[in-house]
Structure 1
Amino acid sequence: MSEAADMRLPNLWDDAVAAGLDEPGQLLYRSNLLGVDLRITNFGGGNTSAKVDARDPLTRANVRVLWVKGSGGDLGSMKRDGFATLYLDKLESLKGLYRGLAEEDEMVALFNHCTFDLNPRATSIDTPLHAFVPHRHVDHVHADALIAVAASADAERLTREVFGGKLGFLPWQRPGFDLGLKLGEMASRHPEYVGVILGGHGLFTWAETSKACYETTLRIIQQAADWLAAHEQKPSFGGTKVETAAPEKRCDVAAILMPLIRGKISADERKIGHFTDAPEVLEFVNSNSLTKLAPLGTSCPDHFLRTKIRPLVLPYDPGRDNLDEVIAGLDDLLAAYRRDYAAYYERCKHPDSPAMRDPNAVVYLAPGIGMFTFAKDKATARIAGEFYVNAINVMRGASGVSAYVGLAEQEAFNIEYWLLEEAKLQRLPKPKPLAGRIAYVTGGAGGIGGATAQRLLDEGACVVVADIDEEALKERVAAIAKRYGRDAAVGVKLDVTDEAAVIASFEETALAFGGVDIVVSNAGIASASPVEDTSLALWQKNIDILATGYFLVSREAFRLLQRQKTGGTIIFVASKNGLAASAGASAYCAAKASEIHLARCLALEGAAHGIRVNTVNPDAVLRGSKIWEGEWRQQRAASNKVGEDQLEEVYRQRSMLKLSVFPADIAEGIYFFASDLSAKSTGNILNIDAGNAQAFTR
């Protein structure tokens, strides 16, 4: 097994913490402890339960209630309201209504009639697997070591050998009411069992207390991991076929391939990418067994639903460095995968199957480089990658002691196109307007940049926050992660006047998310000085940041967008001063005017590629703006012969609408140009200045 599998699973149970919790509280505590370790179960996978005595709110009689993780939750992060609660006696009564395996899906709707205390949490398909086990506490997890046993060709024999008769074995069967009956019957007939391995799927364990159940789960997983480590054949995966490329080369190749792939698979739905070159991934993609094992797909249904029927192996050879060949053959390679997927759908579909979904691969394996995963959002892409790492660990363990067996094609289809799964997908909320889009914002740690990042995030985009102020950048990204989650944004320290740094920042963007769709050039400074007192250094600083910086960012954006071939939008944050000259600020005004004209030039060049370029002109955005924190504020106050604290009122009164302009106002204009609301707008200028006749466009 890998180093991760060799590490001992720590017992995190704290009696002092548990003593202060009621039984449902201990169930939640146990669930969170199990869910935080991906060696125990995947994100969103597995479930836990407890049979709890409670008072019926209507009859006031004592009843037994099944608390079980509800549909769609995650053990590691769930809260108390993540559990469904059902009358156990009513669940037992459903056995009399069961009409057989062909009709078992109809039982799911009946779970609602068993709900205790009007709990709105949707029940999981695994509910009967917990209900019918005659023990108070039950865990179901997808530990790699256990699935390695479960996905072996002789899984039943291995179960007896590894666990010495303490675990039962049930052959593969889709989760549901029938499997729950079989699991419950096996547990009843074998009081010596502490759990059961489900063929190709995972582990069920049970005990009479929450602590004992938790410790049993850990013990069984560790026992499997230890046994596999002691018995597996070396080297793993038949040894190494190709050597790993150097780290810099891996990143370079990934940054080139990901936008190309993303562009070619985003015709119907924009995708976000994730890249990993973790040791487990490199061991697998570099191995002699890659072409044998990868086509077998995964075994565990949770793995399969995230990673699709099989990955796509890219024919990259780091020894020959045949990247140009791979790029030239990408269209044919992707088309072949789509044809194969369509053929799989046609072979396996039922009369009532949902229409075929996106036929593109989710997982892409590149020998010597690593793995790319693409999905509708970053979290889903990352989690798909994590699931495939789990699958790699399973394949390593199973093939090291036996032969790995993937999920049979028809069974895989029945899981992927399960009508109950389709109903769950249909209940998902409608995607936000910028879902699947990747935004890159310079000056993103400042007032306008920060407000812009938040506005784009609110509408579903992923954001690369670029800024020269490292501390402010860290604070901004941390705040975003707290509000939107860790997958929503990455920070890139950037000096827009540094050509190499700008180029590298777009490579980082491609590695982080797979490409780019929205580029907001916002990094800026402000200066004031009579022309006779303006030094060449001050002039050059304005030109470097406000003209050259915007050019460098735009040039790299164009290069990436043209590789992607999905269009895109670039928004310049210029200034009222780019249209209306101001005395005593020639360097600033000239540089801002150059931005506006550069945007017009780029709009001409970008149109043929579907790249729109527009400009937003703010004026007097004092609050939250870094450029108003220092000399610029002092100079403007002195120029207007007022105190610094009176400056905002001066600008408000100067405007035609007598209103102040805030960062959020500018962000709203940027969102307009970033979104499809402005799909037919390019080369335009939007003034957000509360009205300034001098700045009217002509």
Structure 2
Amino acid sequence: MPVETNAFKHVSYLWDQEEADRLAGDEVALLIYRSNLLGADLRLTNYGGGNTSCKVTDTDPLTGKAVEIMWVKGSGGDLGTLKKSGLAALYVDRLRSLQQIYRGIAYEDEMVELFNHCIFDLQSKAPSIDTPLHGFLPFKHIDHLHPDAAIAIAAAKDGKRITAELFGGTIGWVDWQKPGFDLGLQLRSCLDENPGIRGIMLGSHGLFTWGDTAYESYINTLEVVEQCAAYLEENYSKKGPVFAGQKIQSPGSEIRLKQVAEIAPILRGFCSSEKHMVGHFTDDARVLEFINSNDLKRLAPLGTSCPDHFLRTKISPLVLDLTAEEDLSDSAALKARLEPAFEAYRTMYKQYYEDCKHDNSPPVRDPNPVIILYPGIGLFSFSKDKQTARVAAEFYINAINVMKGAEAISSYTALPRQEAFNIEYWLLEEAKLQRMPKPKALSGKIALVTGSAGGIGKAIARKFIEEGAVVVINDNDESRLQIADAKFKADYGADSYVTTPLDVTNADEIDRAFQKACVSFGGVDIVVNCAGISISKSIQDHTEKDWDLLYTILVKGQFLITQAAVAIMRKQNIGGDILNIVSKNGLVSGPNNSGYGSAKAAQLHLSRLNAAELGPDKIRVNTVNPDAVISDSKIWEGSWAEGRAKAYGITVAELPAFYASRTLLNEIILPVDIANACFVFIGGMLNKSTGNVLNVDGGIAPAFLR
């Protein structure tokens, strides 16, 4: 019967018996349900880590006979979001029969391809390296997880003894061994030698638990992890201050974020020496406890223990030799101060590779750190995209939890570097990396598009996200920004963007917007000046207020945004792109348009001036000239449309057709057309183009550049 929901203090009991009853009789559905519950609690397993299985009786489609089939989480994926399409289904007897041709641990990698000969469901996900770990155990339902509390014991110097004493011999122990066919045999041997045990602890790695039903396996897992966590909590107070006590105190959050905004672009620039990286920052309380402690310098270089951890975080972090409250405003001096630390890290990593490599090892990978610790401030992580950077930070927090627990009950032991290398540069891991989709054109890039809650700006932001970038969405209209926030979250997910209010004429809001870019992503690579306003009046009707408003938003706004962007791009020292959305009106004279048209001409020439100045910084400045983009445009909602219709002697409703008819292509221009033009400049094919203008107006001869 289900236990009381309050029976657990250190893990979450999420089982819903009504939902389980609805799935009764479908063991695979119950496997997925159990997996999703386990994956929903990060105290039980980390993102993408662990695997679960169940064994069922099914009919062999070739013989019509009843056979035992194992459904197990396939390669990749995450327990919290696991679906049936993420499972592999294999004949249990075929999988176990592979032992007859197994040639020993030196050849175990060759067994992975043979797993495919054991497939039952031809729609299966590719079987993972952990498949035999489930296959050689006889239980109907099995959970293999990486709970911090269990790994803390598994990574402790006295882990084997502690496990035996804590569980009274009901949890077995298998020393560290790389996952694979041989480890599956080791698990079976452990069970044979210890009949009746309820689980097995894997040294430095994780936990195996099981049950005859999905519910029994779930409860067994929770009870074992709960007992591990309670044991750690009991011992924290016994050993004295955690991590030998606090060496320093963190300043307030406002100061921390100011420091982050100052240093993040510099760190990102160093970490992007081989390819553009996206950053993540956290000052989680567990991070601050660790980085402010007396034991930081002793423990950080040891690296992590669980393979899932260091595959995401690299062998060890870079610890910055900076105080929390020092002045970071002199970026040149800060870069000069930090550069030796990055060079030392790269040298260390390359030496680690040289010391540990095998004849057939893949080439050395990017030697830059993934995790950077700034004592008193927090943790930075850098990776190919925001999600991967965020998850890397989460994994390092898992590692901190493990170190804290292991130190409380004994002393922490990391994997030997050779063992860590054998996992990191494992040929099977390399093959998995090679199978990953090719990066999108804007992967690793960070963009800020002004006025991106609607119209042209929103279309540009969407295009950039779809091509792999992360984007700072902003607008001076709070309600419009909220609507855009909900839409972008639904379409792309929270790791693809952040939002911030932004009035391009307000210096404080500009500073906050770029600080948001630096804190959220590490800096900025692409800035699109798209925010605008239109006023259409005859010269007699034009007021000084109209004139000032046009020039303040269009010209001064473009100047201020570009100025702020360039400061960050120079800190990063990896180039960048400024794109200015101007107008055909910057080139073509028309009626009732003196203020708007001249401001657009100023924007156009300012683009040329900036391109000439910023070339040495590898910052490209280019212009897109739209015309009459009416769809989803705030500008066209009011007096501008009425003014243009009046100027041409037509009605507002006739404007789209009128504008199309006067073009060479007779086409209506849409926001997505402007977005595509922007992508042309930054998508990789025009990296040596600056100071150029691309007209997207359907073809208007007077706007041809001569």
- TM bucket, shorter chain: over 0.9
Distance between the aligned counterparts of 1:347 and 1:377, measured in 2? 30
Residue 361 of structure 2: aligned partner: 353
Give how far 1:662 is off. Answer: 0.5
Residue 129 of structure 2: aligned partner: 125
Q: Is the 8 A contact 2:262 2:329 kept in 1?
A: no
TM-score of the aligned structures, taking structure 2 as reference length:
0.96
Q: Is the 8 A contact 2:20 2:30 kept in 1?
A: yes
The match for 2:596 among 588, 606, 614 is 588
Instruction: Give SS of 2:52's match.
Output: strand
Residue identity in the other structure for 1:236: V
Distance between the aligned counterparts of 1:639 and 1:9, measured in 2? 69
The match for 2:102 among 98, 102, 121 is 98
Distance between the aligned counterparts of 1:601 and 1:107, measured in 2? 63
Note if 1:30 corresponds to 2:34: yes
Give how far 1:640 is off. Answer: 2.7
The match for 1:304 among 300, 306, 310 is 310
Note if 1:437 corresponds to 2:445: yes
Residue 507 of structure 1: aligned partner: 515
Note if 1:143 corresponds to 2:147: yes
Closer/same/farther in 2, CA of residues 326 and 283 from structure 1, 3 Å limit: farther
Distance between the aligned counterparts of 1:65 and 1:322, measured in 2? 61
Residue 653 of structure 1: aligned partner: 661
Deviations 1:20-42 (A, max 9, x none): 22110010011111111111111
Instruction: Give SS of 2:240's match.
Output: coil
Closer/same/farther in 2, CA of residues 581 and 320 from structure 1, 3 Å limit: closer
The match for 2:476 among 456, 468, 472 is 468
Give how far 1:471 is off. Answer: 2.5
Distance between the aligned counterparts of 1:182 and 1:521, measured in 2? 61
Instruction: Give SS of 2:540's match.
Output: helix
Deviations 1:558-609 (A, max 9, x none): 1111111111110000111111122212221121111101101100111111
Closer/same/farther in 2, CA of residues 256 and 321 from structure 1, 3 Å limit: closer
Instruction: Give SS of 2:471's match.
Output: strand
Equivalent residues in 2 for 1:334-353 (5 A)? 334-353=342-361
Residue 173 of structure 1: aligned partner: 177
Residue 624 of structure 1: aligned partner: 632
Instruction: Give SS of 1:686's match.
Output: strand
Instruction: Give SS of 1:531's match.
Output: coil
Give how far 1:443 is off. Answer: 0.8
Which 4+ stretches in 1 moved above 4 angstroms? Answer: 319-326
Residue 69 of structure 1: aligned partner: 73
Q: Is the 8 A contact 2:10 2:229 kept in 1?
A: no
Note if 1:86 corresponds to 2:100: no
Equivalent residues in 2 for 1:357-396 (5 A)? 357-396=365-404
Distance between the aligned counterparts of 1:18 and 1:52, measured in 2? 17
Residue identity in the other structure for 1:310: S
Distance between the aligned counterparts of 1:469 and 1:35, measured in 2? 39
The match for 2:243 among 229, 237, 242 is 237
The match for 1:259 among 265, 269, 274 is 265
Give how far 1:409 is off. Answer: 0.7
Q: Is the 8 A contact 1:438 1:463 kept in 2?
A: yes
Q: Is the 8 A contact 1:149 1:155 kept in 2?
A: yes
Give how far 1:295 is off. Answer: 0.5
Instruction: Give SS of 1:526's match.
Output: coil
Q: In terms of mean alpha carbon deviation, does 142-151 or 529-538 score higher?
A: 529-538
Distance between the aligned counterparts of 1:598 and 1:255, measured in 2? 28
The match for 2:682 among 668, 674, 677 is 674
Residue 295 of structure 1: aligned partner: 301
Closer/same/farther in 2, CA of residues 320 and 226 from structure 1, 3 Å limit: same
Give how far 1:319 is off. Answer: 5.8
Q: Is the 8 A contact 1:569 1:674 kept in 2?
A: yes
Give how far 1:187 is off. Answer: 2.3
Distance between the aligned counterparts of 1:582 and 1:187, measured in 2? 86
Distance between the aligned counterparts of 1:286 and 1:316, measured in 2? 12
Closer/same/farther in 2, CA of residues 405 and 598 from structure 1, 3 Å limit: same
Residue identity in the other structure for 1:608: P
Residue 191 of structure 1: aligned partner: 195
Give how far 1:15 is off. Answer: 1.4
Note if 1:268 corresponds to 2:265: no
TM-score of the aligned structures, taking structure 1 as reference length:
0.97
| Aligned residue pair count | 693
Deviations 1:486-532 (A, max 9, x none): 21111111011001111221111011111111110000111111222
Residue identity in the other structure for 2:203: G
Closer/same/farther in 2, CA of residues 469 and 323 from structure 1, 3 Å limit: closer
Q: Is the 8 A contact 1:133 1:188 kept in 2?
A: no
Q: Is the 8 A contact 2:263 2:328 kept in 1?
A: no
Note if 1:691 corresponds to 2:699: yes
The match for 1:560 among 557, 568, 571 is 568
Instruction: Give SS of 2:151's match.
Output: helix
Give how far 1:269 is off. Answer: 1.3
Instruction: Give SS of 2:233's match.
Output: helix
Distance between the aligned counterparts of 1:211 and 1:642, measured in 2? 72
Residue identity in the other structure for 1:46: G
Listed as ranges, the gaps of 5+ residues in structure 2 are 1-7
Distance between the aligned counterparts of 1:57 and 1:528, measured in 2? 74
Distance between the aligned counterparts of 1:117 and 1:308, measured in 2? 36
Q: Is the 8 A contact 2:256 2:324 kept in 1?
A: no
Residue 546 of structure 1: aligned partner: 554
Deviations 1:30-87 (A, max 9, x none): 1111111111111100000000111112222111111000001110112111000000
Distance between the aligned counterparts of 1:30 and 1:472, measured in 2? 40
Give how far 1:484 is off. Answer: 2.4
Identity value in percent? 51
The match for 1:425 among 423, 433, 442 is 433
Note if 1:635 corresponds to 2:643: yes
Listed as ranges, the gaps of 5+ residues in structure 1 are 1-5
Residue 5 of structure 2: aligned partner: none
Give how far 1:263 is off. Answer: 1.3
Give how far 1:321 is off. Answer: 5.5
Deviations 1:341-397 (A, max 9, x none): 111111111111111111111100000000111111111111000000000011011
Residue identity in the other structure for 1:247: S
Give how far 1:7 is off. Answer: 5.3
Residue identity in the other structure for 1:420: L
Q: Is the 8 A contact 1:243 1:319 kept in 2?
A: no
Q: Is the 8 A contact 1:242 1:317 kept in 2?
A: no
Note if 1:204 corresponds to 2:208: yes
Note if 1:20 corresponds to 2:22: yes
Instruction: Give SS of 1:108's match.
Output: helix
Deviations 1:111-157 (A, max 9, x none): 00000031341111000111111110000111111111111000011
Q: Is the 8 A contact 1:378 1:513 kept in 2?
A: yes
Q: Is the 8 A contact 1:242 1:319 kept in 2?
A: no
Distance between the aligned counterparts of 2:486 and 2:409, measured in 1? 45
Give how far 1:697 is off. Answer: 2.1
Closer/same/farther in 2, CA of residues 542 and 35 from structure 1, 3 Å limit: same
Distance between the aligned counterparts of 1:117 and 1:680, measured in 2? 51
Closer/same/farther in 2, CA of residues 423 and 503 from structure 1, 3 Å limit: same
Distance between the aligned counterparts of 1:188 and 1:626, measured in 2? 72
Deviations 1:275-294 (A, max 9, x none): 11110001100000000000
Residue 249 of structure 1: aligned partner: 255
Give how far 1:10 is off. Answer: 2.2
Closer/same/farther in 2, CA of residues 117 and 442 from structure 1, 3 Å limit: same
Q: Is the 8 A contact 2:591 2:647 kept in 1?
A: no
Q: Is the 8 A contact 2:530 2:580 kept in 1?
A: yes
Instruction: Give SS of 2:55's match.
Output: strand
Deviations 1:528-560 (A, max 9, x none): 112222222221111111111111100001111
Distance between the aligned counterparts of 2:208 and 2:139, measured in 1? 12
Closer/same/farther in 2, CA of residues 122 and 556 from structure 1, 3 Å limit: same
Closer/same/farther in 2, CA of residues 679 and 58 from structure 1, 3 Å limit: same
Residue identity in the other structure for 1:201: H
